[in-house]
Chains A and B, each alone.
Chain A
Amino acid sequence: MRIKEHPVIDFSKKKGRKVTIYFEGKPIEAYEGEPIAEALHAAGIRVLNYTPRGRPRGLFCAIGKCSSCLMKVNGVPNVRTCITLVEDGMRVERQRGLEPLPQDYHPPKWKDATKTEGDVIIIGGGPAGMMAAISAADHGAEVILIDEQPMLGGQLVKQTHKFFGKRQQFAGVRGTKIAEILKEEIEKRRIKVFSRTSAVGLFQDGDKKMVSAVRNNKELLEFYGKAVVVATGALEKMIPFENNDLPGVYGAGAIQTLMNTYGIMPGKRVLIVGAGNVGVILAYQLIQAGVKVVAIIEAMPKIGGYFVHAAKVRRLGVPILTRHTILRAEGRDKVERAIVAKIDENWKPIPGTEKVYNVDIVALAVGLRPSIELLHQVGAQTTYVRELGGYVVRHDDMMQTTVKDIFVAGDSSGIEEATTAMLEGKIAGLAAALRVGKADLRAVNEVKKAHEELMEFRSGPFGARILEGLEKVMIK
């Protein structure tokens, strides 16, 4: 099902040409510009593959990070269908476990990879990466921006709510609009943008950095530069409960991708697990899309997100049950019910407090963890910091990691906000431009200003926790 009318987003402007894909031989209507898994969801298909033991699996993250959506596409298995765009006549099939490549399939070889050179390579086209690209380019650095999504903007493209902070930091502007503004700024500059390109390796190559990448699942690319900014964002956490792999148990971000990026109804009735900002914002966005939110449950005694976001959904009648947890999801091949219960001070479910919700979606909004895979692979020192969402890389106040000339910014340096991601991206981009010898004293002053803005933003109770976390990762 597709969203016909939306109070904030005009999907008629976004929709591409109608095409036909074939799911297990059956024709499915899809639109150019949308990924395979999303088009299948719109057609009511939720089971995308089976585990080797035969358990059905569906979407989970919908941004290419979790591999829960692998399918066989035109005979090639293990394709991340959540970020692979539909093409007219495409053949899509469910697979069982990981399947080998067909014998007659000859993948490209690294020796034939196309090589591109620049000063600064930025991995990730979200708020941090885009801001890093803009800032480095403004000081004359030749910038390469690599992003694995079909469109730039990272998670901003699905945020229909208005951002906080100061007006000069885009406060009062919707995330979707901020993505558009930054994209226009990127286009105005001589920045080489590689979309649908996944960075798969980060190496030191003599006195240069080399990033190996795959474009559109088939083309091998190599990028060479003097400095790299890693702004790869985050991925959604999962919590243990019975049947947490049942199709319909979706990450909050996957639901936002379906409804706000592609205009697809995620389901009819939703239970949200987690009342942090992501959970309460998701509830409001679901109501805007015309989806019923039966409740938000939260294990902590207090709502973790901003009170004002919670108040927005409370006054529209969404209950928020603190000190509650999900016991299990039930259903045949897809979610049909969720069972929740109250928990005691020792976090144990209290017998007799179980409630059954008839829902077709369980949305997990239980936190994010930084995507540090590339940084880990290149040898950057990591450390576990609870306040920042898990393992993070150590960095200095110029956002440089323990590997010289490799910088980090945004959620991949610790889970925070898009506003702080943009400021960190700015610092990392400026620092990289300085390191490659393209920027001058003006960049130093801009870094100083960005630091002041960060300090000011983090000066409240929410920022206090972040500062505590940063204390543990900062290289002094």
Chain B
Amino acid sequence: MSEEYLSRGYLTVEELKKIHPLPSEERLRKKPVAVPECPQEIPCTPCAEICPVNAISMPTPNDLPKVNYEKCIGCSLCVQICPGLAFFMVQYKDDKARVTMPYELLPVPKRGDEVILLNRRGEEIGEGKVVLVIPREKSIGDTNVITVEVPIELAWEARAIKVKEVRE
């Protein structure tokens, strides 16, 4: 397997699909589903330990997490706890997608805010609307979790957000 991502620091969607096959469209339309972007064998298990329905399998701590998308209930606990901030959730809704991601910067956006979407290379690729914020205090992993509604074609591209600067 090509491991070019280890020199670049980001995965392409094609590489991601090879490592963690993506959920079916049917599943994506049902409810949010957790998708890890965790391509490297590192000793780390919180996602598998926290999952309330045992949807994440990891025979030894150095194995990659494998999500059983049918079992996953979309509760976001893995997104909240993942120390590598490498878990996301995706859901398709009509012609939009909702991407749930960890967020540990300031300012923390509010529900309804329009934010700038960034891809895995940090490039601005469009705008999205914040539909849900789980604040740090309520997150089991001490990390804010933000759900953003994005154009469906950006569902597998948008992986970070930038809060728009308020001009004074």
A-chain residues with CB within 8 Å of residue B81 when the two chains form the complex: 162, 172
Interface residues on B, range: 35 or more
User: Which residue in A162, A315, A322 is a CB contact (below 8 Å) of B160?
Assistant: A315
Q: Which A415-471 residues sit within 8 Å CB-CB of chain B?
A: 419, 456-463
Say whether B159 faces chain A, with CB atoms less than 8 Å apart.
yes
Say whether B7 faces chain A, with CB atoms less than 8 Å apart.
yes
B60: nearest chain-A partner, CB-CB: A459
Contact with A along B17-38 (1 / 0, CB 8 A): 0000000000000000000011
Distance of B157 from chain A, by nearest CB (Å): 11
B-chain residues with CB within 8 Å of residue A275 when the two chains form the complex: 9
A-chain residues with CB within 8 Å of residue B75 when the two chains form the complex: none
Q: Which A303-326 residues sit within 8 Å CB-CB of chain B?
A: 303, 306-318, 320, 322
A166 vs B7: C-alpha distance in the bound complex, in angstroms?
27
Q: Given the interface contacts A306-B84, A459-B61, does A164 sit within 8 Å of B118 by beta carbon?
A: no
Evaluate contact between B43 and A463: CB separation under 8 angstroms.
yes
Please give the residue numbers on chain B whose beta carbons come within 8 Å of chain A beta carbons, in ascending order.
Answer: 3, 5-11, 37-46, 49-50, 60-62, 81-86, 104-106, 108, 118-123, 141-143, 159-160
Q: Given the interface contacts A164-B43, A307-B40, A317-B118, does A312 sit within 8 Å of B61 by beta carbon?
A: no
Q: Of the listed stretches A3-11, A45-53, A58-66, A371-379, name the one at the interface; the rest are far from the partner chain.
A: A3-11
Say whether A192 faces chain B, with CB atoms less than 8 Å apart.
no
A5: nearest chain-B partner, CB-CB: B106
B-chain residues with CB within 8 Å of residue A315 when the two chains form the complex: 10, 118-122, 159-160
14 examples of A-B residue contacts, CB within 8 angstroms: A6-B106, A162-B81, A162-B141, A162-B142, A162-B143, A164-B42, A164-B84, A171-B45, A306-B40, A307-B5, A316-B122, A317-B121, A317-B123, A419-B43
Distance of A286 from chain B, by nearest CB (Å): 11
Q: Known A-B contacts: A171-B46, A303-B9. Give 6 more (CB < 8 A).
A: A288-B104, A303-B6, A310-B9, A311-B120, A317-B123, A456-B60
Q: Which A126-172 residues sit within 8 Å CB-CB of chain B?
A: 161-167, 171-172
A275 vs B9: C-alpha distance in the bound complex, in angstroms?
10
Distance of B142 from chain A, by nearest CB (Å): 6
Say whether A287 faces chain B, with CB atoms less than 8 Å apart.
yes
B-chain residues with CB within 8 Å of residue A2 when the two chains form the complex: none
Query: What 7 pairs across the A-B complex have the smallest Cβ distances?
Result: A317-B122, A308-B84, A460-B62, A162-B83, A310-B9, A164-B44, A172-B46
Interface residues on A, range: 35 or more
A164 vs B42: C-alpha distance in the bound complex, in angstroms?
8
Evaluate contact between B83 and A7: CB separation under 8 angstroms.
no
Evaluate contact between B7 and A165: CB separation under 8 angstroms.
no
Evaluate contact between B83 and A316: CB separation under 8 angstroms.
no
User: Which residue in A161, A314, A322, A462 is a CB contact (below 8 Å) of B122?
Assistant: A314
B6: nearest chain-A partner, CB-CB: A302
Distance of B150 from chain A, by nearest CB (Å): 14
Distance of A470 from chain B, by nearest CB (Å): 16
B-chain residues with CB within 8 Å of residue A167 when the two chains form the complex: 45-46, 49-50
Distance of A404 from chain B, by nearest CB (Å): 33
A164 vs B83: C-alpha distance in the bound complex, in angstroms?
6
Distance of B106 from chain A, by nearest CB (Å): 5
Distance of B109 from chain A, by nearest CB (Å): 12
Say whether A174 faces chain B, with CB atoms less than 8 Å apart.
yes
A461: nearest chain-B partner, CB-CB: B41
Evaluate contact between B62 and A165: CB separation under 8 angstroms.
no
Evaluate contact between A165 and B45: CB separation under 8 angstroms.
yes
Say whether A89 faces chain B, with CB atoms less than 8 Å apart.
no
